Amino acid sequence: MIYLDANATTPLLPEVLDAMLPWLREGFHNPNASYRGAKEARKAIDEARAQVAALIGATPDEIVFTGGGTESTNTALKWLARLVGRKTGKVVTSAIEHSAVLKPVETFGEVGYPVTLAGVDGGGRLKLDEYQAACEAAKEGGGLASVMWANNETGVIQPVEEAGAIAKENGLAFHTDAIQAVGKIAVNVRAAPVDFLSLSAHKFHGPKGVGALYIRGGARFEPLLRGGGQEKDRRSGTENTAGIVGLGKAAELAMARLAAGETPRALRNAFEAKVVELVQGATVNGDLLHRLPGTSHLSFTGCEAAGLLILLDDAGVACSAGSACMTGKQQPSHVQKAMGFPDAKAKSSLRFGFSCLNTMEEAMEAAAAVAKAVEKLRKVQGGSTGPVVVYSA
């Protein structure tokens, strides 16, 4: 199997598993207890905190461990909404956010917060003028803004520094969902005016079900989960020591890869070039100047993505149509809609996600498999794309 769905999740690196295993075996102690084993677990958690902080340019006390990306975004957004107050608060975000942001934001809308979704251009980048107007409109009464660092479907990197600065100019708190960006490109919370940042281990070769929320030092905050007061009362619940150690190790390894300039960019570019060479009517989507190095979003005229996915699966290539969370829903992706893609294009698009574990041989083999699948499907479909199919992390 050639695994090209790194935006959905990534395989655990062997070094990460090795770092985790002792904490699932003999290192099982509750880190909040007072004996030696517990103290060792506490020390391991604090080391992981420093590793995660280093990856994003934060200080360790600004990192709160969570049960994954979705918990991080919900924690930040729900607190920010409470902070600004129901009577006057407004919420500004983008139309292309992940459901881990859009769904909580929807619930604010239901209870009376005016919500504005700023649009994106045809390349999938935030329209800063629309976003700025929305932030200015939210200035009176206060509010919050949330803009993702990079999009999960297209890989397009958003102008987060500008978006954060505009939020701050208008007195709004600013959160960024950096779940697709952290570990893949340089993300530094000191370089952007970010109050809250969400990240998730499994997107950069760490374990699933563990993430972190960066909370800028001095920012007001109240927890989503209350209980035993762990994480300095910012996220209660006995710590997932093994998961947290895995996140820390994955962060350390990602930092080393970034420092060494190791990215899957060359693989992704070679794959795209080959596909475009072999397949007539293949287009590369998204702002080419602002893309994650491992993401490729392609459309194939006259070819239904659902059919392609089946043929590629048969050929041993794992990829997605849109985002993994939406696979199985009979609707085109909200991201492609926001980019103005006609339905026919939206339903003929696939997402390929490369990681540091892929090889050039795999990239070339996958490109050939794509070309074969398109050819086969075009013959069967005779160039017509049926009803709108679906979308999926």
Ligand X SMILES: Cc1ncc(COP(=O)(O)O)c(C=O)c1O
- Tell me if 385 contacts ligand X by CB under 6 A: no
Least Å from the CB of residue 10 to ligand X: 11
x-or-dash string of contact with ligand X, 19-48, rule CB under 6 A: ------------------------------
Instruction: Report the sign of the C-alpha dihedral through residues 83, 88, 93, 95, in that order.
Output: positive
CB nearer ligand X, residue 27 or residue 183: 183
Q: DSSP of 59-119, one letter per residue?
A: -GGGEEEESSHHHHHHHHHHHHHHHH-TTT-EEEEETT--HHHHHHHHHHHHTT--EEEE-
CB nearer ligand X, residue 175 or residue 249: 175
Q: How many residues bind ligand X (CB under 6 A)?
A: 15
The DSSP secondary-structure symbol of 9 reads: -
x-or-dash string of contact with ligand X, 198-217, rule CB under 6 A: --x----------x------
* Angle in degrees, 0-180, between the axes of helices 265-278 and 360-381, rounded to the nearest 10: 30
Least Å from the CB of residue 197 to ligand X: 12
**Using CB under 6 A, which of 10, 132, 170, 180 touches ligand X?**
180
SS3 244: helix
CA separation for the pair 69, 57 (Å, rounded): 19
For 349, the token pair is: 């698009």
CA separation for the pair 342, 345 (Å, rounded): 5
CB nearer ligand X, residue 53 or residue 77: 77
- Tell me if 179 contacts ligand X by CB under 6 A: yes
* Site residues (CB under 6 A) for ligand X, limited to 112-151: 148
- Tell me if 68 contacts ligand X by CB under 6 A: yes
CA separation for the pair 141, 145 (Å, rounded): 13
For residue 52, give every residue at least 6 positions away whose Cβ sits within 8 Å of its Cβ, in sequence order, or none.
58, 63, 199, 212, 247, 248, 251
- Tell me if 320 contacts ligand X by CB under 6 A: no
From 33-41, 53-61, 177-185, 225-233, give the range in contact with ligand X by CB under 6 A. Answer: 177-185
Least Å from the CB of residue 202 to ligand X: 6
SS3 24: helix
Among candidate residues 100, 185, 186, the one with its CA nearest the CA of residue 146: 100
- Tell me if 75 contacts ligand X by CB under 6 A: no
CB nearer ligand X, residue 62 or residue 177: 177
**Using CB under 6 A, which of 13, 100, 135, 339 touches ligand X?**
100
Least Å from the CB of residue 201 to ligand X: 8
Give the residue numbers annotated as catalytic, written as ranges: 325
In contact, 93 and 146? CB cutoff 8 Å = yes
**Using CB under 6 A, which of 130, 177, 231, 304 touches ligand X?**
177
Least Å from the CB of residue 384 to ligand X: 32
- Tell me if 98 contacts ligand X by CB under 6 A: yes
DSSP H or E run through 350:
strand 349-353
Q: Whats the size of the chain, residue-wise?
A: 393
* Site residues (CB under 6 A) for ligand X, limited to 324-343: 325
Least Å from the CB of residue 135 to ligand X: 21
**Phi/psi of residue 150, each to 5°?**
-145, 145
* Site residues (CB under 6 A) for ligand X, limited to 257-296: none
Least Å from the CB of residue 114 to ligand X: 23
CA separation for the pair 203, 199 (Å, rounded): 9
Among candidate residues 321, 336, 247, the one with its CA nearest the CA of residue 7: 321
**Using CB under 6 A, which of 10, 51, 70, 241 touches ligand X?**
70
From 63-71, 82-90, 105-113, 301-309, give the range in contact with ligand X by CB under 6 A. Answer: 63-71
Binding-site ranges for ligand X (CB under 6 A):
68-70, 73, 98, 100, 148, 152, 177, 179-180, 200, 211, 325, 393
